[in-house]
A and B are shown apart, each in its own frame.
Chain A
Amino acid sequence: MPKRTDMQNILIIGSGPIVIGQGCEFDYSGTQACKALREEGYRVVLLNSNPATIMTDPELADRTYIEPITPEFIAKVLHQEKRLGQPIDALLPTLGGQTGLNCAVRVAELGILDEYGVEMIGADREVIHRAEDRTEFKRAMERIGADVPRSEIAHTWDEARRAVDRVHLPCVIRPGYTLGGEGGGFARTMEEFETIVNRGLAASPVDEVLIEEDLCGWKEFELEVMRDRADNVVIICSIENFDPMGVHTGDSITVAPAQTLTDKEYQRMRDSAIAIIREIGVETGGSNIQFGVDPCTGRQVVIEMNPRVSRSSALASKATGYPIAKIAAKLAVGYTLDEIPNDITQKTPASFEPTIDYCVVKIPRWTFEKFADADETLTTQMKSVGEGMAIGRTFKEAFQKAIRSMEIKRFGYGLDANDKWLAARRQSRDSVEHASGEARFTATSTEAPPDTQEEHAGEWPIPDEVLRDKLTNPCQGRPYYIRYAFKMDWTVEKVHALTGIDPWFLENLHELVECENALLAGEYSGELKSAGYSDVQIAAGRGAVGARPVYKLVDTCAGEFEAETPYYYSSHEGGMIRLGDPVPYVDDEIRVGDKEKVIVLGGGPNRIGQGIEFDYCCCHASFAARESGFESVMINSNPETVSTDYDTSDKLFFEPLTHEDVFNICDRLNGDAGQDGGLVKGVIVQFGGQTPLNLAQGLKDAGVPILGTSPESIHEAEDREAFQQILRELSLLQPPNGIAFNLDGAVEVAERVGYPVLVRPSYVLGGRGMEKCNNEADLTAYMSEAVKASDRNYTGRCEHPVLIDKFLIDAIEVDVDAVADFGSPGDHTDRDCMICGVMEHIEEAGVHSGDSTSVLPPYSLGDLVVEDMRRSTRKLAERLNVCGLMNIQFAVLNRTVYVIEVNPRASRTVPFVSKATGVPWARVATRVMLGEPLRGVADSYGAVCGMRPAHVSIKAPVFPFTKFPGVDVILGPEMRSTGEVMGIDRSFGRAFAKAQIGCGLSLPTVGNALVSVNDPDKPRVVPIARDLRDMGFSIYSTTGTKRVLEQAGIRATLVSKSTETGAPFLKDLILDGTLDLLVNTPIHTGSASDEGRWRAAATMRRVPLITTLAGARAAVEAIRSMKQDAEVGPTGALGVRALQDYITPPND
């Protein structure tokens, strides 16, 4: 069937901010969909609140609305487009994750789609309901005879109690319509059952939980299914979970294709999947269906279905080369599978099932170290923030590559710096000499440990009961404990009994341990490399290093057809003899070509502090390199991203970002010409966050040209003493500070600069390990922990020292992004530095910049201060010989500007600034790095230095606190947000209101507001409380604050922080919904404090909670705007405008 011609304007809904359970995979799928639909001539209108996405680049869609994803705003977009004369015909809801899907259902239910005559394509409301509603889904499964787990639905605690009598404990509780299983859990006892049911009911927007038969220990599988209008159905990929049921699939190590199903079992699953997609009625597009299999009997049950593209479908696309989202978009407009070509082979159609001749392993990436009180046990609620994927010819090779991709100081399965066993062995030998190769690599890795509780396991040998416990309870470090168990001669059977992991997987891990033992015994064999061992590991085992891999193609067809798309992975393969040829031939599929190449290093797995923003920059670097006539090459290990889409770059290498893996690619691509004058123009390291920066010096030392600001300059900016010297030279101010290598030194510095102080290890990302210390006790506690966060060698000495800054109370923090060409390789003389954007933070200095709400242009700073910062930026750019992007953080106190930090690389704010100013800054920077003069490039994009847009853009952070119940939500110097939204409008108040709505917090315009602040804040909270009262809020207050407010003539109702007094208990008022808005600046923090507990409760209940005065002031402003707009009329309240219209205002 050809494409439909009865529609022209299609609305795509994105997934909004990155949160746990909904990452940048939806930018990947949405971007593909936008491109696919425009390729077919449709006019694409996009709604997404996340500015860090490629899909919200103004050239990706015809109309881009960076507005909150709510039914109200969808209605506004429909209204606006209709008003402008091109009404929306269709809504494609299946590409924006659960957020997009839920929102689409709600607009349909509210009758908005009917009102505007919009058709839902792909999956309609009934289909989504059948798939998502537990009861409906179960009924549908019964109709087609598919086996499902015993289960009951409950809407109240009483219903739940009756249900559990039929289902039996232990059981699983899953709330309806939530992301990543939020609020769900596994209950063994009635006590646990009650807690989880109540939490689940609260989390579910429809007050519904599913109580289900416990399938813990069963094998878990997923199938990715596609269907077209002609009812053709194909399975794109099968995925088997390494971890058995009981661990959310997003938290499981997963393997593609499925490894332990016979054809009979696999086909039975395939038949079910096809029957399910037909019965649920997904008309076109992709779905993900999960199955559980009883390992003893083979009984197969259907767990759930997602009638949309998902995290797994992104993984499946990357794992097979089959672009699910792109095909889904084409199917939605009427094509059938046999009418769409397979991009990879170009000769065969998309109506086939990919088959692969390699193994794919995905490992999730967690950041528990950021949430001190979080429960690290892996359950049915997803907790990971990202994932890395690796491709190898065998499971062993892929598994070790995937571990290397995690960037957790592991270079494979054991034999590296984090190996307890190796450390114990070295200690016992009393040997300090290490393999030289290893020292070089470990020094550059600065990420979190793989198991933050690892120290609890004690030293080697690990006590039996500890190991048993580690194997029984799924946690992020479990695979490593499995290795320790094998090291201690535990059998596969014993480990299987404790973990439930399939013996086939365990056998592979056991074989790795045998491999490693052979290496250590000096019986080195060539198979080590093909089992995935890195040179770091082999060096640690004193084997010979330096073997080079071959590169194989991902081709969707296991070699049956020639692949046109250059999507590669490395592998170590044996050669073959060719008669008459004395040298064995090794098959390498790389097509080097003769074009000069620019290699872009991606950011690896998403984690807090390093996410989609960097991927955005990497993609733009690749686009710019192509634009400038180079061949662009991307290296990355993150399957969720746009950068690992095979058509983003001219060549894609799905590889871990370690020195060895990256260097081998550079070397291979450089061609025969040798390092000098080879085909590699250079490597771009400044866009992928800390990951590629850590590799820069090593690559440079190995002779690989680094493009842009030199690693030495970057180091100079990061090295405290060198940097201080530079600031003195340039007469720039810095908060008083010092550097310490131990506790005594730290106390000395703190006393010199005066408390409070900010302390942190050097070379960190996302404020890891950063804390504010108010006194010496805080500092002592910090220093004993600090050694862990910072890098450490075997002797335990801190390699990177601790930095101590005076904390500037009440200073305003400002982020400046700039691009400069002082270090350009070009021969032009008119070198320059351009300000991309000046962003004023709403929260005072001390809150991590990634967690702050920032405003562009600055809303309270005077022109002179801004000018001062501009001059400082230019001086620094020139002095550091910057070539490309740089980010500077300033603190402004009483009109004095202090330099906090300079990072001569792309910052997290680059995509936001690009959206706010309409200039693709990462692209500008890349072309500058390639040698073009900044002024010329800037002109070509219409960029103006320090442009001050007429509109206000606000970037607000989104936090994962609801995933970590009980964790205190107070902001601090350690970054904890997972994503961001952008609010854009004509005024500050409106933009702030939109940003808040985008974060999922609807500021109330009426109701009860709590005002409770610490002593220093008390006098200053009065005007805020007065404004709230004047706007009609009833004020509630705790004793101290109430006294201050009443002195100022503001009446407040008394509430109590504890249950002991007679006044209403604050936590009760939060839980029963009395309070609509909370303004609270903390006295005590931490989950153990009363305050921490009720703040956590407010977060779980989703009551807007503001923890800084600056934030409260902004909220007041926003509420005022919302009230004013509301008086204008319903459509006037917070109107919408496409990004294209901000950049080039229409003539209306």
Chain B
Amino acid sequence: MLALEDGTVFVGGAFGATGTQSGEVVFNTSLTGYQEILTDPSYCRQIVTMTSPHIGNYGVNTEDEESARPQVAGFVARQIAGRYSNHRAEGGLGEYLQRHGVIGIEGIDTRALTKLLRVEGSMRGLITTEHDDPAQCVKLAREAAPMEGADLVSEVAPTETSTWSTGLSADTGDQPSAPHRVVAIDCGMKRNILRHLVTRSGPVTVVPPTLSADAILHLRPDGVFVSNGPGDPSAVHATIETLRGLVGRVPIFGICLGHQMLALALGASSFKMKFGHRGANQPVRNEITGRVEITSQNHGFAIDPQSLERSGAIVTHVNLNDQTLEGFSHPDKLLFAVQYHPEASPGPHDATYLFDSFCEMMSTGRSAHTV
């Protein structure tokens, strides 16, 4: 059963684990990549609905994991495949979710649910295999913690510094094209970001988001990357403070939550979107080149572009569907960030040039020409 805070309850079939979980109910419109979505730490405390009706068709495999385990609070699909089929598959989705304690519901009208979320906005919800009283479930959904003001980074981020050295191609003979010392602040980072960084600049030092600016600078990085992650950016005070200490002292590249925190560090403000952007088909125009990129996105908060421009930053990327801010740079400081996911996984590879731009910024000490 899936109950929403507005009193709507869907009854469907259970798959994956049993139990009860609450979270923010959101929808994702990607046609492929359910495993990458499940394992994206940015979905912490969210119950994710896939609009694509057939899920589980190609099973699961370890290569397609974006973190060590599924991160979602619950998973909703129209139909889970009775049999998976793919040469890389190592197992079925149902067993995988069961093993990792994720509760799933299938057989409900996911389009009706999606439309409800579009009209009413993202809602708190409860997914359960235990309760069967709709009123009780709705009550529990309403008791769930709201997403606004929630610092969820601490739930998914590491506490220790580590090194990541696997690049995009699995074979180890990968030679970095532009070796640099990159420090990545991991707020719940997707592995494909690290793979992109490693392929270009070599092994990356991954640090917890609680590390201070001085401690990071002590590592003598050529550039600092600040990652994606879950929750409300304005609640992640320590990391914003860290970024304030780094701005202007080292080239910085941010993605998603990293983009939001960097903007906040510059003095911009953030707000919660009605239902966010989650999918692999979002058109973004690069305002510098005029080119349109089809991007992978996953965010429920956004930066107010006016507040950002007041801080002196320049809008570099705009979402063509709703004109929201998708990226910025700064004329005086070596930094740029995008709201969307150039590392894709899942999603199109149109924006991978941003990793090259980061390298260019580190190499030349000047802003990249494309952002």
Q: Is the C-beta of B79 less than 8 angstroms from some C-beta in chain A?
A: yes
Task: List the B residue with the shortest CB-CB distance to A228.
Answer: B292
CB interface residues, B 246-303, toward A, < 8 Å: 279-283, 285, 290-292, 294
Task: List the B residue with the shortest CB-CB distance to A503.
Answer: B85
Per-residue interface assignment for chain A, residues 280 to 315, with 1 indicating a CB less than 8 Å from any chain B CB and 0 otherwise: 000000000000000111100000000000000000
Most chain B CB within 10 A, of A259, A263, A270, A492, is at A263
Q: Is the C-beta of B235 less than 8 angstroms from some C-beta in chain A?
A: no
Given contacts A230-B290, A232-B291, contact A259 B54 (CB under 8 A): yes
Q: Is the C-beta of A205 less than 8 angstroms from some C-beta in chain B?
A: no
Bound CA span A575–B108, Å: 8
Set of chain A residues within 8 Å of B292, measured between Cβ atoms? 230, 232, 234, 336-338, 351
Say what secondary structure dominates the interface of chain B. loop
Query: Which one of B36, B88, B109 contacts A574 once the chains associate, using CB atoms below 8 Å?
Result: B109
Given contacts A260-B58, A559-B51, A587-B112, contact A579 B138 (CB under 8 A): yes
Q: Is the C-beta of A261 less than 8 angstroms from some C-beta in chain B?
A: yes
Evaluate contact between B321 and A504: CB separation under 8 angstroms. Answer: no
Evaluate contact between A357 and B32: CB separation under 8 angstroms. Answer: no
Evaluate contact between A357 and B279: CB separation under 8 angstroms. Answer: no
Query: Which one of A232, A354, A357 contacts B114 once the chains associate, using CB atoms below 8 Å?
Result: A357
Evaluate contact between B31 and A356: CB separation under 8 angstroms. Answer: yes
Q: Is the C-beta of A779 less than 8 angstroms from some C-beta in chain B?
A: no
Residue pairs across A and B with CB atoms within 8 Å: the count is 195
Evaluate contact between A558 and B109: CB separation under 8 angstroms. Answer: no
Query: Which one of B9, B36, B346 contacts A576 once the chains associate, using CB atoms below 8 Å?
Result: B9
Given contacts A349-B320, A577-B9, contact A357 B54 (CB under 8 A): no
Evaluate contact between A504 and B84: CB separation under 8 angstroms. Answer: yes
Most chain A CB within 10 A, of B33, B79, B84, B109, is at B109
Q: Is the C-beta of A511 less than 8 angstroms from some C-beta in chain B?
A: yes
Bound CA span A336–B289, Å: 14
CB interface residues, A 803-850, toward B, < 8 Å: none
Evaluate contact between A267 and B107: CB separation under 8 angstroms. Answer: no
Task: List the A residue with the shortest CB-CB distance to B112.
Answer: A587
Q: Tell me how far the C-beta of B53 lies from the nearest C-beta in chain A, rounded to whole angstroms.
A: 5
Set of chain B residues within 8 Å of A579, measured between Cβ atoms? 7-9, 134-135, 138
Most chain B CB within 10 A, of A262, A297, A558, is at A262
Query: Which one of A296, A561, A586 contacts B87 once the chains associate, using CB atoms below 8 Å?
Result: A296
Evaluate contact between A552 and B349: CB separation under 8 angstroms. Answer: no
Bound CA span A394–B107, Å: 10
Set of chain A residues within 8 Å of B285, measured between Cβ atoms? 338
Q: Tell me how far the C-beta of A300 lies from the nearest C-beta in chain B, rounded to whole angstroms.
A: 12
Q: Is the C-beta of A355 less than 8 angstroms from some C-beta in chain B?
A: yes
Query: Which one of B11, B31, B291 contacts A238 once the chains associate, using CB atoms below 8 Å?
Result: B31
Per-residue interface assignment for chain A, residues 355 to 396, with 1 indicating a CB less than 8 Å from any chain B CB and 0 otherwise: 111110000000000000000000000000000000001110
Evaluate contact between B108 and A576: CB separation under 8 angstroms. Answer: yes
Query: Which one of A354, A393, A574, A578 contacts B281 once the chains associate, using CB atoms below 8 Å?
Result: A354
Q: Is the C-beta of A989 less than 8 angstroms from some C-beta in chain B?
A: no
Q: Tell me how far the C-beta of B33 lies from the nearest C-beta in chain A, rounded to whole angstroms.
A: 3
Evaluate contact between A558 and B321: CB separation under 8 angstroms. Answer: no
Bound CA span A257–B27, Å: 19
Q: Tell me how far the C-beta of B285 lies from the nearest C-beta in chain A, rounded to whole angstroms.
A: 6
Bound CA span A337–B285, Å: 11
Task: List the B residue with the shortest CB-CB distance to A1.
Answer: B290
Set of chain B residues within 8 Å of A504, measured between Cβ atoms? 57-58, 81, 83-85
Set of chain B residues within 8 Å of A259, measured between Cβ atoms? 54, 57
Bound CA span A557–B291, Å: 22
Query: Which one of A270, A296, A502, A560 contacts B118 once the chains associate, using CB atoms below 8 Å?
Result: A560
Evaluate contact between B283 and A560: CB separation under 8 angstroms. Answer: no
CB interface residues, A 326-364, toward B, < 8 Å: 336-338, 347-349, 351-359
Q: Is the C-beta of B64 less than 8 angstroms from some C-beta in chain A?
A: yes
Set of chain B residues within 8 Å of A355, measured between Cβ atoms? 29-31, 51-52, 279-281
Per-residue interface assignment for chain A, residues 764 to 783, with 1 indicating a CB less than 8 Å from any chain B CB and 0 otherwise: 00000000000000000000
Bound CA span A507–B84, Å: 9
Given contacts A394-B78, A579-B138, contact A262 B115 (CB under 8 A): no
Given contacts A349-B283, A351-B320, contact A263 B83 (CB under 8 A): no
Query: Which one of B82, B111, B281 contacts A552 once the chains associate, using CB atoms below 8 Å?
Result: B111
CB interface residues, A 519-541, toward B, < 8 Å: none
Q: Is the C-beta of B240 less than 8 angstroms from some C-beta in chain A?
A: no
Q: Is the C-beta of B223 less than 8 angstroms from some C-beta in chain A?
A: no
Bound CA span A741–B321, Å: 66
Q: Is the C-beta of A580 less than 8 angstroms from some C-beta in chain B?
A: yes
Set of chain A residues within 8 Å of B118, measured between Cβ atoms? 559-562
Per-residue interface assignment for chain B, residues 30 to 65, with 1 indicating a CB less than 8 Å from any chain A CB and 0 otherwise: 111101100000000000000111100110010110
Evaluate contact between B114 and A559: CB separation under 8 angstroms. Answer: yes
Bound CA span A574–B12, Å: 9
Given contacts A298-B88, A348-B320, A393-B78, contact A230 B30 (CB under 8 A): no
Q: Is the C-beta of B110 less than 8 angstroms from some C-beta in chain A?
A: yes
CB interface residues, B 115-157, toward A, < 8 Å: 115, 118, 134-135, 138
Evaluate contact between A353 and B111: CB separation under 8 angstroms. Answer: no
Given contacts A262-B33, A349-B283, A559-B114, contact A358 B53 (CB under 8 A): yes
Q: Is the C-beta of A271 less than 8 angstroms from some C-beta in chain B?
A: yes
Question: Interface residues of B, CB < 8 Å — how many?
Answer: 64
Q: Is the C-beta of A207 less than 8 angstroms from some C-beta in chain B?
A: no
Evaluate contact between A393 and B83: CB separation under 8 angstroms. Answer: no
Evaluate contact between A559 and B349: CB separation under 8 angstroms. Answer: no
Set of chain A residues within 8 Å of B346, measured between Cβ atoms? 263, 267
Q: Tell me how far the C-beta of A511 lies from the nearest C-beta in chain B, rounded to whole angstroms.
A: 6
Set of chain B residues within 8 Å of A578, measured between Cβ atoms? 7-9
Task: List the B residue with the shortest CB-CB distance to A559.
Answer: B114
Set of chain A residues within 8 Å of B349, measured between Cβ atoms? 267, 270-271
Q: Is the C-beta of B347 less than 8 angstroms from some C-beta in chain A?
A: yes
Most chain A CB within 10 A, of B86, B110, B118, is at B86
Evaluate contact between A576 and B31: CB separation under 8 angstroms. Answer: no
Q: Is the C-beta of B205 less than 8 angstroms from some C-beta in chain A?
A: no
Q: Is the C-beta of B348 less than 8 angstroms from some C-beta in chain A?
A: yes
Per-residue interface assignment for chain B, residues 1 to 41, with 1 indicating a CB less than 8 Å from any chain A CB and 0 otherwise: 00000011111100000000000000101111101100000
Bound CA span A267–B53, Å: 19
Query: Which one of A234, A235, A347, A357 contacts B110 once the chains associate, using CB atoms below 8 Å?
Result: A357
Q: Tell me how far the C-beta of B174 lies from the nearest C-beta in chain A, rounded to whole angstroms.
A: 17
Q: Is the C-beta of B345 less than 8 angstroms from some C-beta in chain A?
A: yes
Q: Tell me how far the C-beta of B66 lies from the nearest C-beta in chain A, rounded to whole angstroms.
A: 11
Query: Which one of A238, A359, A558 contacts B51 once the chains associate, using CB atoms below 8 Å?
Result: A558
Bound CA span A348–B281, Å: 12
Set of chain B residues within 8 Å of A260, measured between Cβ atoms? 57-58, 85-86
Per-residue interface assignment for chain A, residues 579 to 590, with 1 indicating a CB less than 8 Å from any chain B CB and 0 otherwise: 110000011000
Most chain B CB within 10 A, of A238, A297, A348, is at A348
Given contacts A270-B348, A574-B107, contact A257 B135 (CB under 8 A): no
Per-residue interface assignment for chain B, residues 317 to 336, with 1 indicating a CB less than 8 Å from any chain A CB and 0 otherwise: 00011000000000000000
Evaluate contact between B344 and A561: CB separation under 8 angstroms. Answer: no
Evaluate contact between A507 and B320: CB separation under 8 angstroms. Answer: no
Q: Is the C-beta of A119 less than 8 angstroms from some C-beta in chain B?
A: no
Bound CA span A876–B84, Å: 63
Given contacts A338-B320, A559-B118, A574-B108, contact A359 B54 (CB under 8 A): yes
Query: Which one of A257, A337, A557, A576 contacts B112 once the chains associate, using CB atoms below 8 Å?
Result: A576
Q: What are 8 inter-chain pairs, A to B, with CB distance below 8 A?
A: A230-B292, A349-B321, A351-B283, A351-B320, A355-B280, A358-B53, A507-B83, A579-B135
Q: Which residues of B contact A (CB under 8 A)?
A: 7-12, 27, 29-33, 35-36, 51-54, 57-58, 61, 63-64, 78-79, 81-88, 107-115, 118, 134-135, 138, 279-283, 285, 290-292, 294, 320-321, 344-349
Known contacts A352-B281, A504-B85; can you find 13 more A-B pairs with CB under 8 A?
A261-B32, A263-B33, A266-B31, A296-B87, A355-B51, A357-B51, A357-B110, A507-B85, A574-B12, A574-B109, A576-B109, A578-B8, A579-B138
List 6 A-B pairs, minimum CB-CB distance, nearest first: A263-B33, A587-B112, A579-B7, A263-B346, A558-B51, A507-B83
